[in-house]
Each structure stands twice: as C-alpha cells, then as structure tokens.
Structure 1
Amino acid sequence: MTEYTLITGATSGIGYALAVEFAKRGQALLLASRNLPKMRAVQKALQAKYKIPVIPVPSDLSKPDAPQKLYNYCRKNKLSIVTLVNNSGFGLTARPQVDQNWAECERLFQVNLHAVLQLSTLFGRDMKKRRRGYILNVASTAAFQPMPYAALYGASKAFVLALSEAMHIELQDYGVGVTALCPGITDTNFFKNGKPTVPGWLYKLVSPELVARRAVKALYQKKIYIVPYFQHWLIAQFSRFGTRKTIARIMRRIEKMRKKIRFL
C-alpha cells in the first residue's frame, strides 16, 4: 500500500511550500482543498518535477462533516496516511470580536479548530495502531498571547498549539510525532490588502519556503513545536515577562497598526 502525506490547504503559501518540501523527499501526496482547479495545477507541477503520485481531493473543511468524509475517502481507497499536515486556516477582518460576522466566526471555528481536532484524532488513532506516523499542525505565533482585534483567530491558534503539545506527549511512546508549526509574519496571501505595517526591523517578513523547510526538519526530529525564525521566536517569548493584561494591551497597540488589513 502506497503511503501518503495528506496536506490540507496546499494550493498556495505555506501549504504549497510544505507540499514541495515533502515532494522533494519523494513523498506521495494527497491534497485536500476547496479549489480543485488550483489543486490540479499543483498536482501537474509536482508530478512533472518530482515524479511522485499526487491525488487532489475536493474538501471544504468549513463543513462540519468534511473531516470525516476525507478520512472515509482515504479508508475506502486504501490510502495509508503516514503524515498529516493540518495547514488550512484563515482569519477575519481586524475588528473587535463583538463586531464580527457570526457566520464567518462559525466558519473559522470549523476550519481552524474542528477540522484540526477531528483529522488529528482520526488519523492519529490509525498512526497509534501502526506505531508510527507524523502530524504537523499549523498554528501561529498568535498562539502565545491574546490578540485584541483578532481575538478568535488568536484563540484558535492557541487551541491548535495546546492540542498539539498534549498529543505530542500522548503519542510519543507509540512512535508518532506531533509538532505544532508556529510561524510569524510570512510572505503569503494571508495579508490580502498589503504588507504588515509593523516595521521590518521589529518583525521581519519571511518566505514560506524557509518556514516549510524548517518545519519539515522539526517534524522529522519530532520536536514538540517550532517557530521557524529566531526573531519571531524571541518576540513570542515576551508574553512570559509581563502580566497577561499588560501583554494584551501591547498586542492591542500592534493590532491597531494593521487594523485595516484583512486576514485570510
């Protein structure tokens, strides 16, 4: 049975860069996304360059039953998922939580939390039985502190980080590695209307290729989490040196600087 790496949201940004990194290592890929035309383009490019099997599977993870359907598809087609990458996720327009559109909040909850939890549970259970496998859950440096004006996004990434750290400990004795990827500001479509207004000397914009390369290395080393760029890691540690209220106020100032930017 061919072993596959399943990546959600692999048509652009960090997800695509991760697909390339696994393809370089000769991994067969199963790509799950809403955008079938983009997935087919990625499939064609990766198959041609790296000579690996690539299977695109349409999947809208904002639907509550999508994770179970994706798992059932793999079981039905006898696809052994040796590596799971939960990359799909998005954020909302920067504004107070009480002013957010509730339908969009529910959609974010399904993609950023529910899908990550269910896919990690379903495929992690199989990996535990086989006593080997890898799970890479994409969180964010937003997971390390409260995020005024991006409250739900920050909370969702804190959930992903905490879930991954706990599962890392639970599964390590079964040969399964679980790693949380916590990138800082990365040069992707996450920022739809422009680059971050935070000065570059304070918070450097890094490439998705760098993030993916260091993430895959950390995954295979079975690290519990990885912040791929040192400057981003250092800033993420600030929350350890102040009260939670003080850190929340600092983050409010930072988020106000980029309040007009829509997070994807």
Structure 2
Amino acid sequence: MNTEAGKTALITGASNGIGQELAKLFAKDGYNLVLIGRNDDKLQQLAEGFEQDYGVQTTVIAKDLSRENVAEEVYNEVTGRGLTINVLVNDAAVSTYGKFATDTDWEREKALIHLNVLTLTHMTKLFLKDMVTRNEGKILQLASLVAITPFPLMAVYAATKAYVYNFTQSLNNELKDTNVTVTALLPNATDTNFFREAGAPQLNVEDQLDDPAVVAKDGYDALMSGKLKVIPGGAMNKAYEVMAYTMPQETLAGMMRHYNTPKEESEREKESSSTTSAWALGLGIAAAVVAGVALVTAYNNADALTRARYRYKATKLKYKANSVLDDAKEALVDSWDKVKHNVQNATTTA
C-alpha cells in the first residue's frame, strides 16, 4: 500500500546516479515527483516510466541550477502549479579536477560554487519556510565523506560539501522544536559519471566505488527516520569518519591525494610502502573502533543469556589475541635485531 500517496518530493539532479535512484524510491512509496535537471529528454523519459510503473504524477522542470536566481524560478514555477513540496532533495552537484592554483578554470569553479552552495541554500530557504509554516516536511542534503576530510585536486568541491554538512547540522538545531527534519547524506565515492564530468582521468578512488542504489536506499531510510546524518555503506565507510576525526590532517590529506591521483601516475610513481602501511593501519584501527562500538551497543541491548554468551566468546578471543600479540612482538624484535645488525655491518664496512 502506498502510504505517502498525495505527497510530493522535489529532487534536483534527478536525471542520473543517486538522484535517479532516490526518485525511484519515492515513486515506489507513492510520492508524486518534481524532477529538476538540465537534461529535459532524460527527465521526461524517467517521468513516463515512473508514471507507468508506479501510477504517480510527475512534473519535469528543466533548469540549469548553476544560474543566478534559478532557485526562485523553480520555487515560483512549483507554487504556481499549486504543488506543495513535502520533501526536498538537494542532490545536484558538480566538481572540477586539478590543482587549484594552476589547473582549474575559475568560471567552472564559480558555477560549481553557485550550484553546490548558493542554489542549495536558496532552495532550502524557500521551501523550508513553507515546511515550518505547515510544521511538516523533510529535506535531504547531499553532502559527502569529503565534507569532513581534505580532498586535494578537488579542493573547491570538498569545501562546498563541508559547507553543506555544517549548514545542515546548524539547521537541525534550529528546527528541533518542529516536525521538520534535515538529513545530511555523506556517501563515499559512488559509481556515477561524477569523475568524468569533473574532467578527471581514471583515478585510484574508482577502484572502490559504492553502488548508487545502495547509497540512495540508506539515504532514503535515514531521511524517513528523521536522522541528522547518514554515512551509507559498510563499516569501512564509517571507519573513514573515525579517521577524519582522529588522524592528523596532513596525513589524511596525503591519503586522500593518493585516492584522487590518476591510476597511470600511481603506477609510474608508487607510494612508499611505509606510507601505505600507515594508511592500512589507520583504516584497520578505525574499523576496529566502529566494530567495537557496534559490539558494545549490541551487548548493552542484549538479554542476560546473550550477554553470558558474549562474555564467554570474549574470553576465548582474549586468549587468541594474546597469542597473536606475542607472535607479533617476537616478529618485531627479530626485525629490529636484523635492522641493527645490518646498520652495524654497514658502519663497519664504511
């Protein structure tokens, strides 16, 4: 049964990727749709499909959201049609690629800032005011994991996403006494055409792309639950968040620079094994922290019998862990002795 029949969701950047997957989820739940994007033909095609498959009403508004005052144009067109927007999804965003000082074009960056920041903010202001007046509504803001990390070679993009994330959390505090919620979606790199549209070559980060359908589902569920934020995907993506708040920023920037480096360049100039090991260790520790928090939460919510099982398993793991640590310590001592021996031999020879 479509429990949300009669409600309307407005989605920017709806013609592909995460935005398209979100539109599908809203349509399945009976939401009427307002689809915003530049590709009118693609949006019309999607609209026809949603109407046939799910029986919802779909409105297409083709707009370049990087233009001045375009948010007001959209708002006036929507309200002029007598539509009430119950859910606003600010998904549209773009990036540029390259070193800020020498490689990227200012006009493209200016358009990027206008789309990612100004239009998003203005759209939020216009529709949020109506939601607060009705005391009902939801907003989903597409931020990014790079909202909380440096991202060399896409510096301006990362800065705009940091703005979106901070803006969203501030709004949540202002709205805490209302029935209106704003959710920040912080995905990792996702399998869309994002990097090609930014003008980037094949990058290292593209070896670990998330599925846009999974990202959209996690974002949709968080939005409907009224969560303040969501990091979609598994424990590894949560581990990146832990690293963002615990790792030195210079080290974090170096790791993110590696991910954003062209594959061909990485093959020519391999990162040092020590740096790679440090990143792997950092991710491993962060993942362990995330897993530990999950285990503690599960333990605290368990009944007495389940807790007893946890304690029994923990005791067994403790003995195993001690054995592993002893082996590791022996390996480290052996390695250190070999290093000292080699250094002494080199000094004697010299």
Work out whether the TM-score is over 0.5: yes
Counterpart for residue 98 of structure 1: 101
Counterpart for residue 225 of structure 2: 221
TM-score scaled by length of structure 1: 0.91
Distance change (3 Å), C-alpha of 1:199 and 1:32: closer
Counterpart for residue 35 of structure 1: 39
What is the CA deviation profile of residues 54-102 of structure 1, one whole-angstrom value per residue up to 9, with x for unaligned ones?
0001111010110011011122111100000000001112x11112101
Q: Is 1:233 matched up with 2:245? A: no
Asked if the contact 1:140–1:181 (Cα under 8 Å) also holds between the matched residues in 2, the reply is yes
Counterpart for residue 182 of structure 2: 178
Taking only aligned residues, the RMSD between alpha carbons, in angstroms, comes to 1.7
Structure with larger Rg: 2
Q: 1:235 offset after TM fit, Å?
A: 1.5
3-state secondary structure, aligned to 2:213: helix
- Whole-angstrom CA distance in 2 between matches of 1:120 and 1:259: 41
Q: 1:232 offset after TM fit, Å?
A: 1.5
- Whole-angstrom CA distance in 1 between matches of 2:194 and 2:264: 14
Asked if the contact 1:7–1:32 (Cα under 8 Å) also holds between the matched residues in 2, the reply is yes
3-state secondary structure, aligned to 2:60: strand
- Whole-angstrom CA distance in 2 between matches of 1:138 and 1:40: 23
Counterpart for residue 155 of structure 1: 159
- Whole-angstrom CA distance in 1 between matches of 2:227 and 2:74: 27
Q: 1:258 offset after TM fit, Å?
A: 5.4
Q: How does 1:118-129 map to 2 (within 5 A)?
A: 118-129=122-133
Counterpart for residue 172 of structure 2: 168
Q: 1:172 offset after TM fit, Å?
A: 2.6
Counterpart for residue 256 of structure 2: 251
Instruction: Give the letter aligned to residue 244 of structure 1.
Output: Q
- Whole-angstrom CA distance in 1 between matches of 2:151 and 2:62: 32
Deviation >6 Å, runs of 4+: none
- Whole-angstrom CA distance in 2 between matches of 1:259 and 1:250: 17
**Which range moved further: 69-78 or 228-237?**
228-237
TM-score scaled by length of structure 2: 0.70
- Whole-angstrom CA distance in 2 between matches of 1:27 and 1:199: 33
Asked if the contact 1:3–1:79 (Cα under 8 Å) also holds between the matched residues in 2, the reply is no
Instruction: Give the letter aligned to residue 100 of structure 2.
Output: Q
Counterpart for residue 26 of structure 1: 30
Q: Which runs of 5+ in 1 are unaligned?
A: none
Q: Is 1:114 matched up with 2:129? A: no
Instruction: Give the letter aligned to residue 254 of structure 1.
Output: Y
Q: Which runs of 5+ in 2 are unaligned?
A: 1-5, 266-350
What is the CA deviation profile of residues 100-147 of structure 1, one whole-angstrom value per residue up to 9, with x for unaligned ones?
101001110111111111111111111011101000001111111111
3-state secondary structure, aligned to 1:183: coil
Higher relative contact order (CA 8 A, sep 6+): 1
Asked if the contact 1:47–1:54 (Cα under 8 Å) also holds between the matched residues in 2, the reply is yes
Instruction: Give the letter aligned to residue 72 of structure 1.
Output: N
Asked if the contact 2:11–2:36 (Cα under 8 Å) also holds between the matched residues in 1, the reply is yes
Asked if the contact 1:183–1:228 (Cα under 8 Å) also holds between the matched residues in 2, the reply is yes
What is the CA deviation profile of residues 206-248 of structure 1, one whole-angstrom value per residue up to 9, with x for unaligned ones?
2111111111110011111111112222113212112223322
What is the number of equivalent residue pairs in this alignment? 255
Q: 1:256 offset after TM fit, Å?
A: 2.4
1:49 pairs, out of 49, 53, 58, with 53
Identity across the alignment (%): 31
- Whole-angstrom CA distance in 2 between matches of 1:111 and 1:127: 22
Q: 1:175 offset after TM fit, Å?
A: 0.4
Counterpart for residue 148 of structure 2: 144
Distance change (3 Å), C-alpha of 1:172 and 1:257: same
Q: 1:196 offset after TM fit, Å?
A: 4.3
Asked if the contact 1:149–1:259 (Cα under 8 Å) also holds between the matched residues in 2, the reply is no
Asked if the contact 2:204–2:258 (Cα under 8 Å) also holds between the matched residues in 1, the reply is no
- Whole-angstrom CA distance in 2 between matches of 1:216 and 1:16: 12
